[in-house]
Chain A
Amino acid sequence: MAEHALPSRFERPNALTFVLLVGTAALIISSFATSGVSFEKLVRGFPALGRLGAQMFPPSIERLEPVLWSLIQTFQMAIAGTVLGLIISLPLAVLAAPSLSPHPFFVWVTRGIVALFRTVPDLVWAIVFVIAVGLGPAAGVLALMVDTTGFAARFFAEAMEETEKGPREALSALGASRSGIIFSSVIPQAMPSMINTSLFSLEKATRGSVVLGLVGAGGIGIELKVSLEMFDYDQAATIIIAIFLLVLAVERASTWVRNRIL
Protein backbone atom coordinates (compact mmCIF):
# COMPACT_ATOMS: atom_id res chain seq x y z
CA MET A 1 0.00 0.00 0.00
CA ALA A 2 1.29 3.45 -0.86
CA GLU A 3 1.85 5.76 2.05
CA HIS A 4 0.47 8.80 0.29
CA ALA A 5 -3.22 9.46 -0.24
CA LEU A 6 -4.54 9.46 -3.80
CA PRO A 7 -5.42 12.90 -5.14
CA SER A 8 -9.13 13.55 -5.66
CA ARG A 9 -10.52 12.79 -9.13
CA PHE A 10 -11.85 16.29 -9.64
CA GLU A 11 -10.38 19.53 -8.43
CA ARG A 12 -12.69 21.77 -6.45
CA PRO A 13 -13.39 24.83 -8.61
CA ASN A 14 -12.49 28.21 -7.21
CA ALA A 15 -15.15 30.91 -6.85
CA LEU A 16 -14.50 32.48 -10.27
CA THR A 17 -14.57 29.13 -12.11
CA PHE A 18 -17.79 28.24 -10.28
CA VAL A 19 -19.45 31.52 -11.32
CA LEU A 20 -18.31 31.02 -14.93
CA LEU A 21 -19.64 27.45 -15.02
CA VAL A 22 -23.02 28.48 -13.63
CA GLY A 23 -23.17 31.46 -16.04
CA THR A 24 -22.35 29.24 -19.06
CA ALA A 25 -24.97 26.67 -18.04
CA ALA A 26 -27.58 29.45 -17.64
CA LEU A 27 -26.70 30.85 -21.08
CA ILE A 28 -27.08 27.43 -22.77
CA ILE A 29 -30.41 26.70 -21.07
CA SER A 30 -31.83 30.17 -21.84
CA SER A 31 -30.69 29.83 -25.49
CA PHE A 32 -32.70 26.63 -25.93
CA ALA A 33 -35.68 28.10 -24.08
CA THR A 34 -35.73 31.27 -26.21
CA SER A 35 -35.34 29.51 -29.55
CA GLY A 36 -38.23 27.18 -28.77
CA VAL A 37 -36.44 24.06 -30.03
CA SER A 38 -37.85 20.87 -28.61
CA PHE A 39 -37.82 17.20 -29.40
CA GLU A 40 -41.61 17.28 -29.50
CA LYS A 41 -41.60 19.95 -32.21
CA LEU A 42 -39.13 17.93 -34.23
CA VAL A 43 -41.31 14.82 -34.04
CA ARG A 44 -44.39 16.84 -35.02
CA GLY A 45 -42.47 18.19 -38.01
CA PHE A 46 -41.61 14.77 -39.45
CA PRO A 47 -44.86 14.30 -41.44
CA ALA A 48 -44.37 17.73 -43.10
CA LEU A 49 -40.78 16.79 -43.92
CA GLY A 50 -42.05 13.53 -45.39
CA ARG A 51 -44.58 15.40 -47.57
CA LEU A 52 -41.87 17.80 -48.78
CA GLY A 53 -39.59 14.85 -49.57
CA ALA A 54 -42.36 13.16 -51.55
CA GLN A 55 -42.98 16.33 -53.56
CA MET A 56 -39.27 16.65 -54.29
CA PHE A 57 -38.84 13.19 -55.77
CA PRO A 58 -38.28 12.37 -58.47
CA PRO A 59 -36.32 15.57 -59.15
CA SER A 60 -37.45 17.38 -62.29
CA ILE A 61 -34.99 17.69 -65.17
CA GLU A 62 -37.36 19.93 -67.12
CA ARG A 63 -35.18 23.02 -66.64
CA LEU A 64 -31.87 21.20 -66.37
CA GLU A 65 -30.07 23.31 -68.97
CA PRO A 66 -30.76 26.75 -67.41
CA VAL A 67 -30.01 25.27 -64.00
CA LEU A 68 -26.62 24.06 -65.21
CA TRP A 69 -25.85 27.45 -66.78
CA SER A 70 -26.74 29.13 -63.49
CA LEU A 71 -24.51 26.65 -61.70
CA ILE A 72 -21.60 27.51 -64.00
CA GLN A 73 -22.27 31.21 -63.46
CA THR A 74 -22.27 30.60 -59.70
CA PHE A 75 -18.90 28.90 -59.87
CA GLN A 76 -17.52 31.67 -62.08
CA MET A 77 -18.72 34.22 -59.53
CA ALA A 78 -16.91 32.24 -56.83
CA ILE A 79 -13.69 32.13 -58.85
CA ALA A 80 -13.78 35.83 -59.76
CA GLY A 81 -14.65 36.89 -56.21
CA THR A 82 -11.94 34.67 -54.73
CA VAL A 83 -9.22 35.86 -57.14
CA LEU A 84 -10.07 39.53 -56.54
CA GLY A 85 -10.20 38.94 -52.79
CA LEU A 86 -6.84 37.16 -52.77
CA ILE A 87 -5.20 39.94 -54.80
CA ILE A 88 -6.47 42.55 -52.33
CA SER A 89 -5.52 40.35 -49.38
CA LEU A 90 -1.82 40.28 -50.23
CA PRO A 91 -0.99 43.98 -49.64
CA LEU A 92 -3.45 44.15 -46.74
CA ALA A 93 -1.72 41.16 -45.12
CA VAL A 94 1.69 42.84 -45.43
CA LEU A 95 0.31 46.00 -43.81
CA ALA A 96 -1.42 43.96 -41.08
CA ALA A 97 1.71 41.95 -40.17
CA PRO A 98 3.49 43.89 -37.39
CA SER A 99 6.99 42.79 -38.42
CA LEU A 100 6.47 43.83 -42.07
CA SER A 101 4.23 46.88 -41.82
CA PRO A 102 5.94 50.25 -42.24
CA HIS A 103 4.19 51.64 -39.13
CA PRO A 104 2.03 50.32 -36.26
CA PHE A 105 -0.71 52.73 -37.39
CA PHE A 106 -1.10 50.75 -40.64
CA VAL A 107 -1.32 47.50 -38.65
CA TRP A 108 -4.10 48.95 -36.54
CA VAL A 109 -6.08 50.40 -39.48
CA THR A 110 -5.65 47.35 -41.74
CA ARG A 111 -6.61 44.91 -39.02
CA GLY A 112 -9.73 46.98 -38.37
CA ILE A 113 -10.72 46.91 -42.05
CA VAL A 114 -10.06 43.17 -42.33
CA ALA A 115 -12.06 42.50 -39.15
CA LEU A 116 -14.97 44.52 -40.58
CA PHE A 117 -14.85 42.54 -43.84
CA ARG A 118 -14.77 39.27 -41.91
CA THR A 119 -17.42 39.92 -39.30
CA VAL A 120 -20.16 41.24 -41.59
CA PRO A 121 -21.82 38.18 -43.25
CA ASP A 122 -21.48 37.78 -47.04
CA LEU A 123 -25.26 37.99 -47.43
CA VAL A 124 -25.19 41.48 -45.92
CA TRP A 125 -22.34 42.50 -48.26
CA ALA A 126 -24.43 41.12 -51.16
CA ILE A 127 -27.37 43.35 -50.17
CA VAL A 128 -25.01 46.33 -49.91
CA PHE A 129 -23.58 45.69 -53.39
CA VAL A 130 -27.01 45.00 -54.93
CA ILE A 131 -27.97 48.47 -53.73
CA ALA A 132 -24.66 49.89 -55.02
CA VAL A 133 -24.28 48.21 -58.43
CA GLY A 134 -27.71 46.70 -59.04
CA LEU A 135 -29.05 43.15 -59.32
CA GLY A 136 -26.87 40.49 -60.91
CA PRO A 137 -23.62 38.56 -60.64
CA ALA A 138 -21.42 41.70 -60.34
CA ALA A 139 -22.89 42.36 -56.89
CA GLY A 140 -22.25 38.74 -55.97
CA VAL A 141 -18.63 38.87 -57.12
CA LEU A 142 -18.02 42.04 -55.08
CA ALA A 143 -19.63 40.48 -52.00
CA LEU A 144 -17.47 37.37 -52.36
CA MET A 145 -14.39 39.55 -52.91
CA VAL A 146 -14.96 41.38 -49.62
CA ASP A 147 -15.74 38.15 -47.77
CA THR A 148 -12.60 36.45 -49.17
CA THR A 149 -10.48 39.47 -48.27
CA GLY A 150 -11.69 39.36 -44.67
CA PHE A 151 -10.82 35.70 -44.43
CA ALA A 152 -7.61 35.48 -46.48
CA ALA A 153 -5.90 38.72 -45.38
CA ARG A 154 -6.01 37.62 -41.75
CA PHE A 155 -4.55 34.18 -42.45
CA PHE A 156 -1.99 35.53 -44.94
CA ALA A 157 -0.79 38.01 -42.29
CA GLU A 158 -0.51 35.23 -39.69
CA ALA A 159 1.36 32.99 -42.14
CA MET A 160 3.78 35.83 -42.94
CA GLU A 161 4.37 36.57 -39.26
CA GLU A 162 5.15 32.91 -38.58
CA THR A 163 7.90 32.67 -41.21
CA GLU A 164 11.48 32.16 -40.06
CA LYS A 165 13.17 35.44 -39.18
CA GLY A 166 16.68 34.24 -40.14
CA PRO A 167 16.34 34.51 -43.95
CA ARG A 168 14.75 37.95 -43.53
CA GLU A 169 17.67 39.07 -41.39
CA ALA A 170 20.11 37.71 -43.98
CA LEU A 171 18.47 39.74 -46.75
CA SER A 172 18.17 42.81 -44.57
CA ALA A 173 21.89 42.48 -43.72
CA LEU A 174 22.90 42.59 -47.37
CA GLY A 175 20.92 45.75 -48.04
CA ALA A 176 17.77 44.31 -49.64
CA SER A 177 14.70 46.55 -49.82
CA ARG A 178 11.54 45.86 -47.82
CA SER A 179 9.77 44.61 -50.95
CA GLY A 180 12.78 42.43 -51.78
CA ILE A 181 12.63 40.85 -48.34
CA ILE A 182 8.88 40.28 -48.61
CA PHE A 183 8.95 38.74 -52.08
CA SER A 184 12.23 36.82 -51.72
CA SER A 185 11.89 35.48 -48.22
CA VAL A 186 8.53 36.02 -46.55
CA ILE A 187 6.13 35.03 -49.33
CA PRO A 188 8.09 31.95 -50.48
CA GLN A 189 8.15 30.71 -46.89
CA ALA A 190 4.47 31.49 -46.31
CA MET A 191 3.43 30.02 -49.67
CA PRO A 192 2.18 26.58 -48.47
CA SER A 193 -0.04 28.21 -45.87
CA MET A 194 -1.20 30.85 -48.39
CA ILE A 195 -2.12 28.21 -50.98
CA ASN A 196 -4.05 26.36 -48.29
CA THR A 197 -5.91 29.54 -47.34
CA SER A 198 -6.61 30.30 -51.03
CA LEU A 199 -8.14 26.86 -51.57
CA PHE A 200 -10.28 27.20 -48.45
CA SER A 201 -11.32 30.63 -49.71
CA LEU A 202 -12.48 29.10 -53.00
CA GLU A 203 -14.44 26.40 -51.17
CA LYS A 204 -15.99 29.05 -48.91
CA ALA A 205 -16.82 31.33 -51.85
CA THR A 206 -18.43 28.45 -53.76
CA ARG A 207 -20.71 27.70 -50.80
CA GLY A 208 -21.32 31.41 -50.29
CA SER A 209 -22.11 32.10 -53.95
CA VAL A 210 -25.03 29.67 -53.83
CA VAL A 211 -27.03 31.70 -51.33
CA LEU A 212 -26.18 35.15 -52.72
CA GLY A 213 -28.83 34.71 -55.42
CA LEU A 214 -31.45 34.76 -52.66
CA VAL A 215 -30.89 38.52 -52.36
CA GLY A 216 -30.57 39.09 -56.10
CA ALA A 217 -26.78 38.92 -56.39
CA GLY A 218 -26.73 36.44 -59.26
CA GLY A 219 -26.03 32.75 -59.48
CA ILE A 220 -28.11 29.66 -58.84
CA GLY A 221 -29.60 30.99 -55.61
CA ILE A 222 -32.22 32.93 -57.53
CA GLU A 223 -33.32 29.73 -59.34
CA LEU A 224 -33.71 27.99 -55.99
CA LYS A 225 -35.65 30.89 -54.53
CA VAL A 226 -38.06 30.99 -57.48
CA SER A 227 -38.59 27.21 -57.43
CA LEU A 228 -39.37 27.21 -53.71
CA GLU A 229 -41.70 30.23 -53.99
CA MET A 230 -43.54 28.57 -56.90
CA PHE A 231 -43.83 25.30 -54.92
CA ASP A 232 -41.85 23.51 -57.68
CA TYR A 233 -40.18 21.30 -55.10
CA ASP A 234 -39.11 18.67 -57.68
CA GLN A 235 -37.24 21.40 -59.51
CA ALA A 236 -35.80 22.70 -56.24
CA ALA A 237 -34.53 19.15 -55.58
CA THR A 238 -32.62 19.21 -58.89
CA ILE A 239 -31.03 22.54 -57.94
CA ILE A 240 -30.09 21.33 -54.44
CA ILE A 241 -28.48 18.19 -55.92
CA ALA A 242 -26.61 20.34 -58.48
CA ILE A 243 -25.35 22.63 -55.69
CA PHE A 244 -24.32 19.63 -53.60
CA LEU A 245 -22.36 18.16 -56.53
CA LEU A 246 -20.63 21.50 -57.27
CA VAL A 247 -19.57 22.07 -53.66
CA LEU A 248 -18.43 18.47 -53.34
CA ALA A 249 -16.43 18.68 -56.59
CA VAL A 250 -14.72 21.89 -55.49
CA GLU A 251 -13.87 20.43 -52.07
CA ARG A 252 -12.49 17.24 -53.64
CA ALA A 253 -10.49 19.21 -56.22
CA SER A 254 -9.03 21.53 -53.62
CA THR A 255 -8.07 18.56 -51.41
CA TRP A 256 -6.35 16.98 -54.40
CA VAL A 257 -4.47 20.19 -55.24
CA ARG A 258 -3.52 20.64 -51.57
CA ASN A 259 -2.10 17.14 -51.39
CA ARG A 260 -0.23 17.54 -54.67
CA ILE A 261 1.30 20.96 -53.97
CA LEU A 262 1.87 20.99 -50.22
Chain B
Amino acid sequence: MNLQVQAFEPAAGQIPAAISIRNLSKSFSASKTVFSGINIDIAPGSLVALIGANGAGKSTLLRCIPRLIDPDGGEIEVQGQKVLRDARNLRRLRSKIGFVFQKHNLVGRLSSLTNVIHGAQGRGYGVAAWNQAFASSAIRAQALDCLDRVGLAPTAAQRADSLSGGQSQRVAIARALMQQPDIVLADEPAASLDPQAGDEVMQLFVTLMQMEAKTVVFSSHNLTHALQFADRVIAIAGGKIVLDAPSRSLGEAELRGLYG
Protein backbone atom coordinates (compact mmCIF):
# COMPACT_ATOMS: atom_id res chain seq x y z
CA MET B 1 0.00 0.00 0.00
CA ASN B 2 1.34 3.38 -0.94
CA LEU B 3 -0.06 5.78 1.60
CA GLN B 4 0.73 9.44 1.36
CA VAL B 5 0.67 11.99 4.15
CA GLN B 6 1.12 15.43 2.80
CA ALA B 7 -0.31 18.45 4.61
CA PHE B 8 -2.10 21.06 2.53
CA GLU B 9 -0.65 24.11 4.23
CA PRO B 10 -1.28 27.48 2.64
CA ALA B 11 1.86 29.31 1.60
CA ALA B 12 2.79 32.57 3.32
CA GLY B 13 0.76 35.53 2.08
CA GLN B 14 -2.09 33.34 0.85
CA ILE B 15 -5.69 33.50 2.12
CA PRO B 16 -5.83 31.82 5.56
CA ALA B 17 -7.05 28.24 5.66
CA ALA B 18 -10.79 27.80 6.15
CA ILE B 19 -9.96 25.38 8.95
CA SER B 20 -6.60 24.98 10.57
CA ILE B 21 -6.03 22.23 13.12
CA ARG B 22 -2.80 22.13 15.07
CA ASN B 23 -1.60 19.27 17.26
CA LEU B 24 -5.15 18.32 18.26
CA SER B 25 -5.65 15.55 20.79
CA LYS B 26 -8.66 13.97 22.41
CA SER B 27 -9.13 11.04 24.75
CA PHE B 28 -12.23 9.86 26.57
CA SER B 29 -10.27 8.16 29.34
CA ALA B 30 -6.65 7.55 30.26
CA SER B 31 -6.70 4.28 28.35
CA LYS B 32 -8.77 5.45 25.38
CA THR B 33 -6.98 8.01 23.27
CA VAL B 34 -9.11 8.83 20.24
CA PHE B 35 -6.41 10.76 18.41
CA SER B 36 -3.36 12.89 19.10
CA GLY B 37 -1.05 15.18 17.18
CA ILE B 38 -3.58 15.86 14.41
CA ASN B 39 -2.52 18.64 12.01
CA ILE B 40 -4.79 19.58 9.12
CA ASP B 41 -5.19 22.70 6.98
CA ILE B 42 -8.24 22.92 4.80
CA ALA B 43 -8.22 25.43 1.97
CA PRO B 44 -11.31 27.60 1.35
CA GLY B 45 -13.72 26.07 -1.13
CA SER B 46 -12.23 22.60 -0.92
CA LEU B 47 -14.18 19.37 -0.51
CA VAL B 48 -12.54 17.01 1.95
CA ALA B 49 -13.55 13.45 2.82
CA LEU B 50 -12.60 12.07 6.22
CA ILE B 51 -12.42 8.29 6.25
CA GLY B 52 -11.52 5.67 8.80
CA ALA B 53 -12.82 2.57 10.54
CA ASN B 54 -15.50 2.72 13.26
CA GLY B 55 -14.07 4.36 16.36
CA ALA B 56 -11.19 5.93 14.42
CA GLY B 57 -12.28 9.37 15.63
CA LYS B 58 -13.82 10.90 12.49
CA SER B 59 -16.98 12.11 14.24
CA THR B 60 -15.02 13.25 17.28
CA LEU B 61 -12.65 15.25 15.07
CA LEU B 62 -15.54 16.89 13.20
CA ARG B 63 -17.30 17.70 16.49
CA CYS B 64 -14.12 19.21 17.92
CA ILE B 65 -14.02 21.85 15.15
CA PRO B 66 -17.06 23.85 16.39
CA ARG B 67 -16.30 22.62 19.95
CA LEU B 68 -19.38 20.46 20.26
CA ILE B 69 -16.74 18.32 21.96
CA ASP B 70 -13.86 20.01 23.74
CA PRO B 71 -10.46 18.73 22.64
CA ASP B 72 -7.87 17.93 25.30
CA GLY B 73 -5.11 19.81 23.57
CA GLY B 74 -4.12 21.64 20.43
CA GLU B 75 -5.60 24.55 18.54
CA ILE B 76 -8.33 25.02 15.97
CA GLU B 77 -8.68 28.11 13.83
CA VAL B 78 -11.62 28.86 11.59
CA GLN B 79 -10.91 31.51 8.95
CA GLY B 80 -7.94 32.63 10.96
CA GLN B 81 -9.80 32.95 14.26
CA LYS B 82 -9.15 30.67 17.20
CA VAL B 83 -12.14 28.58 18.27
CA LEU B 84 -12.28 29.21 22.01
CA ARG B 85 -14.75 28.12 24.70
CA ASP B 86 -15.86 31.73 25.36
CA ALA B 87 -19.60 31.67 24.62
CA ARG B 88 -19.90 34.83 22.51
CA ASN B 89 -16.87 34.06 20.35
CA LEU B 90 -18.00 30.46 20.01
CA ARG B 91 -21.54 31.33 18.86
CA ARG B 92 -20.15 33.76 16.30
CA LEU B 93 -17.75 31.16 14.91
CA ARG B 94 -20.37 28.41 14.97
CA SER B 95 -22.66 30.61 12.90
CA LYS B 96 -20.08 30.35 10.10
CA ILE B 97 -20.02 26.55 10.29
CA GLY B 98 -22.95 24.46 9.12
CA PHE B 99 -23.20 20.94 10.56
CA VAL B 100 -25.13 18.10 8.95
CA PHE B 101 -25.46 15.17 11.32
CA GLN B 102 -25.72 11.47 10.59
CA LYS B 103 -29.23 11.53 12.03
CA HIS B 104 -30.96 14.63 10.70
CA ASN B 105 -31.65 16.05 14.20
CA LEU B 106 -34.81 17.87 13.16
CA VAL B 107 -37.52 18.77 15.68
CA GLY B 108 -40.07 16.16 14.71
CA ARG B 109 -43.18 17.98 15.96
CA LEU B 110 -42.40 21.11 13.92
CA SER B 111 -42.94 21.66 10.22
CA SER B 112 -40.20 21.32 7.60
CA LEU B 113 -40.38 25.07 7.07
CA THR B 114 -39.85 25.87 10.76
CA ASN B 115 -36.94 23.44 10.92
CA VAL B 116 -35.31 25.22 7.98
CA ILE B 117 -36.02 28.64 9.52
CA HIS B 118 -34.09 27.49 12.62
CA GLY B 119 -30.99 27.76 10.42
CA ALA B 120 -31.37 31.56 10.53
CA GLN B 121 -30.75 31.55 14.31
CA GLY B 122 -27.04 31.48 13.59
CA ARG B 123 -27.47 34.72 11.64
CA GLY B 124 -28.81 36.54 14.70
CA TYR B 125 -32.50 36.45 13.86
CA GLY B 126 -33.50 35.55 17.45
CA VAL B 127 -37.22 35.10 18.12
CA ALA B 128 -38.03 35.56 14.42
CA ALA B 129 -36.25 32.28 13.71
CA TRP B 130 -37.85 30.25 16.52
CA ASN B 131 -40.92 29.32 14.54
CA GLN B 132 -42.27 30.09 11.09
CA ALA B 133 -45.24 31.79 12.76
CA PHE B 134 -42.95 34.52 14.14
CA ALA B 135 -40.71 34.83 11.08
CA SER B 136 -40.81 37.76 8.68
CA SER B 137 -42.08 37.22 5.13
CA ALA B 138 -38.51 37.52 3.84
CA ILE B 139 -37.22 34.80 6.17
CA ARG B 140 -40.16 32.52 5.34
CA ALA B 141 -39.54 33.05 1.62
CA GLN B 142 -35.81 32.31 2.03
CA ALA B 143 -36.60 29.11 3.94
CA LEU B 144 -39.07 27.99 1.28
CA ASP B 145 -36.43 28.65 -1.36
CA CYS B 146 -33.95 26.47 0.57
CA LEU B 147 -36.58 23.72 0.76
CA ASP B 148 -37.20 24.12 -2.94
CA ARG B 149 -33.51 23.68 -3.68
CA VAL B 150 -33.57 20.29 -1.96
CA GLY B 151 -36.80 19.45 -3.81
CA LEU B 152 -39.04 19.54 -0.77
CA ALA B 153 -41.01 22.79 -1.06
CA PRO B 154 -44.31 20.84 -1.16
CA THR B 155 -43.56 19.46 2.33
CA ALA B 156 -43.16 22.93 3.90
CA ALA B 157 -46.22 22.57 6.12
CA GLN B 158 -45.65 18.89 6.86
CA ARG B 159 -44.40 17.79 10.26
CA ALA B 160 -40.76 16.70 10.12
CA ASP B 161 -41.54 13.38 11.81
CA SER B 162 -43.80 12.45 8.90
CA LEU B 163 -40.92 12.60 6.38
CA SER B 164 -38.82 9.67 5.20
CA GLY B 165 -35.16 9.35 6.26
CA GLY B 166 -33.92 10.72 2.95
CA GLN B 167 -36.38 13.63 3.02
CA SER B 168 -35.43 14.45 6.62
CA GLN B 169 -31.75 14.55 5.71
CA ARG B 170 -32.58 16.87 2.80
CA VAL B 171 -34.45 19.19 5.18
CA ALA B 172 -31.33 19.16 7.37
CA ILE B 173 -29.30 20.20 4.32
CA ALA B 174 -31.83 22.98 3.63
CA ARG B 175 -31.39 24.12 7.25
CA ALA B 176 -27.62 24.28 6.66
CA LEU B 177 -28.23 26.33 3.49
CA MET B 178 -30.50 28.68 5.43
CA GLN B 179 -27.70 29.27 7.90
CA GLN B 180 -25.53 30.61 5.03
CA PRO B 181 -22.28 29.31 6.54
CA ASP B 182 -18.89 29.51 4.88
CA ILE B 183 -17.94 26.01 5.99
CA VAL B 184 -20.10 22.89 6.17
CA LEU B 185 -19.17 19.82 8.21
CA ALA B 186 -21.14 16.64 7.61
CA ASP B 187 -20.85 13.59 9.83
CA GLU B 188 -21.68 10.57 7.67
CA PRO B 189 -24.71 12.32 6.16
CA ALA B 190 -25.74 9.27 4.13
CA ALA B 191 -24.96 6.55 6.65
CA SER B 192 -28.47 6.11 8.02
CA LEU B 193 -30.06 5.92 4.56
CA ASP B 194 -30.50 3.08 2.09
CA PRO B 195 -27.84 3.01 -0.68
CA GLN B 196 -29.99 4.75 -3.29
CA ALA B 197 -31.25 7.47 -0.96
CA GLY B 198 -27.69 7.83 0.39
CA ASP B 199 -26.29 8.39 -3.11
CA GLU B 200 -29.04 10.91 -3.90
CA VAL B 201 -28.52 12.83 -0.67
CA MET B 202 -24.74 12.95 -1.14
CA GLN B 203 -25.08 14.08 -4.74
CA LEU B 204 -27.54 16.82 -3.75
CA PHE B 205 -25.47 17.89 -0.75
CA VAL B 206 -22.22 18.18 -2.68
CA THR B 207 -23.81 19.88 -5.70
CA LEU B 208 -25.53 22.53 -3.55
CA MET B 209 -22.44 23.20 -1.48
CA GLN B 210 -20.25 23.49 -4.59
CA MET B 211 -22.71 25.92 -6.18
CA GLU B 212 -22.29 28.13 -3.12
CA ALA B 213 -18.51 27.63 -3.03
CA LYS B 214 -18.63 26.34 0.54
CA THR B 215 -15.73 24.59 2.19
CA VAL B 216 -16.96 21.09 2.94
CA VAL B 217 -15.59 18.38 5.20
CA PHE B 218 -17.59 15.18 5.35
CA SER B 219 -16.89 11.88 7.04
CA SER B 220 -17.93 8.69 5.34
CA HIS B 221 -17.51 4.94 5.32
CA ASN B 222 -18.50 4.93 1.68
CA LEU B 223 -15.23 4.98 -0.22
CA THR B 224 -17.03 5.53 -3.51
CA HIS B 225 -18.53 8.71 -2.06
CA ALA B 226 -15.13 9.80 -0.78
CA LEU B 227 -13.50 9.37 -4.18
CA GLN B 228 -16.46 10.62 -6.22
CA PHE B 229 -17.31 13.76 -4.29
CA ALA B 230 -14.17 14.89 -2.48
CA ASP B 231 -11.12 16.49 -4.00
CA ARG B 232 -9.02 15.47 -1.01
CA VAL B 233 -9.17 12.39 1.22
CA ILE B 234 -7.87 12.24 4.78
CA ALA B 235 -7.78 8.90 6.56
CA ILE B 236 -7.45 8.39 10.30
CA ALA B 237 -6.32 5.15 11.92
CA GLY B 238 -4.84 4.46 15.32
CA GLY B 239 -5.44 8.06 16.35
CA LYS B 240 -3.19 9.47 13.60
CA ILE B 241 -3.57 10.72 10.08
CA VAL B 242 -2.36 7.89 7.89
CA LEU B 243 -3.33 9.31 4.53
CA ASP B 244 -3.82 12.79 3.17
CA ALA B 245 -3.92 13.01 -0.59
CA PRO B 246 -5.89 14.32 -3.54
CA SER B 247 -8.70 11.93 -4.37
CA ARG B 248 -7.73 11.75 -8.05
CA SER B 249 -4.47 10.05 -7.03
CA LEU B 250 -6.26 7.33 -5.06
CA GLY B 251 -8.09 4.13 -5.87
CA GLU B 252 -10.85 2.36 -3.93
CA ALA B 253 -8.74 -0.76 -3.37
CA GLU B 254 -6.00 1.37 -1.87
CA LEU B 255 -8.44 2.99 0.56
CA ARG B 256 -10.05 -0.33 1.42
CA GLY B 257 -6.68 -1.41 2.83
CA LEU B 258 -7.15 1.16 5.58
CA TYR B 259 -10.10 -0.80 6.92
CA GLY B 260 -7.95 -3.87 7.39
Contact = CB atoms under 8 A, between A and B. Distances in A.
Interface of A: 164, 166-167, 169-177, 180, 183-185, 188-189, 191-192
B109 A188 contact: yes
A171 B109 contact: no
B118 A171 contact: yes
Contacts of B129: 180, 184
A184 B105 contact: no
A173 B118 contact: no
A178 B149 CA distance: 29
Contacts of A191: 109
A167 B121 contact: no
A188 to B, nearest CB: 5
Nearest to B120: A174
Which of A166, A170, A177, A180 has the most C-beta atoms of chain B within 10 angstroms of its own C-beta? Answer: A170
B119 interface: yes
B20 interface: no
Contact of B107 (A175, A177, A189): A189
Nearest to B176: A174
A162 B139 CA distance: 31
Contacts of B126: 177, 180
B101 A170 contact: yes
A172 B91 CA distance: 8
B66 interface: yes
Contact of B103 (A166, A172, A174, A180): A166
Given A173-B68, A175-B95, A180 B130 contact: yes
A166 B160 CA distance: 14
A184 B97 contact: no
A184 B121 contact: yes
Nearest to A174: B122
Contacts of B95: 174-175
Contact of A184 (B66, B98, B130): B130
B222 interface: no
A165 B130 CA distance: 17
A185 B114 CA distance: 11
B204 interface: no
B107 to A, nearest CB: 5
B131 interface: yes
B218 to A, nearest CB: 15
A176 to B, nearest CB: 4
8 contacts: A170-B99, A174-B98, A174-B122, A175-B95, A176-B121, A180-B130, A184-B114, A185-B107
B101 A169 contact: yes
Contacts of B66: 173
Interface in B50-93: 66, 68, 90-93
B101 A174 contact: no
Contact of A174 (B108, B110, B179): B179
Interface string B117-158: 011011000110111000000000000000000000000000
Given A170-B101, A183-B130, A189-B108, A177 B91 contact: yes
Which 4 residue pairs are nearest across A and B when measured between Cβ atoms? A175-B95, A175-B122, A175-B94, A170-B105
Contacts of A189: 107-109
B118 A176 contact: yes
Nearest to A166: B105
B212 to A, nearest CB: 16
Given A166-B101, A180-B121, A173 B94 contact: yes
A83 B95 CA distance: 37
Contacts of B90: 175
Contacts of A188: 107, 109-110
Nearest to A192: B109
Contacts of A176: 91, 118, 121-122
Contacts of A184: 107, 110, 114, 118, 121, 129-131
Contacts of A180: 118, 121, 126, 129-130
